[in-house]
Chains A and B, each alone.
Chain A
Amino acid sequence: MKIAISSEGDNLNSNVNSRFGRARYFIVVDTESMNYKAIGKTAASSAGGAGTKAAQLLLDEGVDSIISSNVGPNALEVFQAAGISVYKSINDTIEKNVEEFKKGTLEKIELPTNNGHHGEH
């Protein structure tokens, strides 16, 4: 299974970044082999629509699940439409989050965690 986690840094020891759209990195991990790659060019500094742009980036990577915290309504709509599950991250390293994900202890996010608006303009 291929999962993506919003991250502060570029490796498995980095901490998660709680903001989905404007995270500095995404770590895409293969949960069987634990091989991973870091995507550094996220939508963090983009002109707008950071959430949907980041979502498109991960869709194009072909991930099955997402681990993050503050996923806005737009990005969530994209993932729901694409049939991708989103899980709430715990405040720890990427590796720890993957472990918890495998154990099935992470909470699934069904509704936008941020009912609101993210200054896209």
Chain B
Amino acid sequence: MKGYKIAVLSGKGGTGKTTVSSNLAKIQKSIYVDCDIEEPNGYLFLKPEIEKVKDVNVMIPSIDYDKCTLCGECTRACRFGALTKLIKKILVFDHLCHSCGACYEICPYNAINEIPKKIGAIRVGRSDDIDFIDGKLNIGEASGVPIIKEIKNLIKDTDKNVIIDSPPGTSCSVIHSIEGSDYCLLVTEPTPYGLHDLKLAVELVKEMNLPFVVIINKSGEEDSIIENYCKEESINVLAKIPFKKEYAELYSKGNLLIKEDDEIRHTFENLSQKLMELIGK
């Protein structure tokens, strides 16, 4: 049987996606998958032993001047301005290339070859009793979506449960991270910023038809700002993780909360149990 895929997202950055994902993965003994390829931080908390590093490449055009007639068809086909025709050659701007293959398919003289270009890497390892996967985009590269797709391919058919730590925001890299998940956890904080960005994340998961619940992190006396909204929208608030200075300190050092504090361990055990009941339904 295939395992469940649970995606953790937030809209706003810094609300506690990685805290929720890493602790939950540990509690559930699920595979932890970090799709926040611009700033993957899960490894700082799970301290995995990396067993395998795999480069992620995209294909970019290379012109074969023995065949090229400088007809310019490729430059007209490229909608991203990655190819420019000069009098004697075609300039290729690989950082503008989206690897769509249009130039390669359009060239009437088969004068374009596709060559790989590394944009980042995927790491696979173990953090004690759980599997660990993360991806990292090289600085200066435009899009991390190819890395996310490769990560998603790795976990497609696993029979274990998977926790996906998604990037912040609501853009297309978030879509690729959470697509195909069985359940989404929307992590927010009880501030006007948290609420504003939670609404955007809710809009996104609703549009994708994914079932979801909300988790309030840094919870305290002012939770009503989130709770009132969730009530109006009939959204289930599955758990609250209280704000404590000790937690902030543990986090700052890169410690897993559930390893250091029994109370928070309970919170996560409850959360996990309730989540499994929901998914089971």
Contacts and interface: CB of A to CB of B under 8 A. Distances in A.
Interface of A: 43, 46-53, 55-56, 59, 74, 77-78, 81-82, 120-121
B93 A82 contact: no
B91 A49 contact: no
Interface string B64-100: 0000000000010011111111110101010010100
A82 B91 CA distance: 10
B142 interface: yes
Nearest to A47: B79
A50 B81 contact: yes
Interface of B: 75, 78-87, 89, 91, 93, 96, 98, 142-143
A121 B143 contact: yes
Contacts of B81: 43, 46, 48-53, 56, 74, 120
Contacts of B84: 52, 55-56, 59, 78
B80 A120 contact: yes
Contacts of B75: 56
Contacts, number: 54
A contacts with B: majority SS: helix
Given A56-B84, A56-B85, A82-B86, A48 B93 contact: no
A82 B83 CA distance: 14
30 contacts: A46-B79, A48-B81, A49-B79, A49-B80, A49-B81, A49-B82, A49-B93, A50-B81, A51-B81, A52-B81, A52-B82, A52-B83, A52-B84, A52-B93, A52-B96, A55-B84, A56-B75, A56-B81, A56-B84, A77-B91, A77-B93, A78-B84, A78-B86, A81-B89, A81-B91, A120-B80, A120-B81, A120-B142, A121-B142, A121-B143
Contacts of A47: 79-80
A48 B80 contact: yes
A74 B91 CA distance: 10
Given A56-B85, A74-B93, A81-B86, 4 more contacts: A47-B80, A48-B79, A77-B93, A120-B80
A114 to B, nearest CB: 15
A4 B84 CA distance: 18
Nearest to B140: A117
A55 B93 CA distance: 13
B80 A78 contact: no
Contacts of B142: 120-121
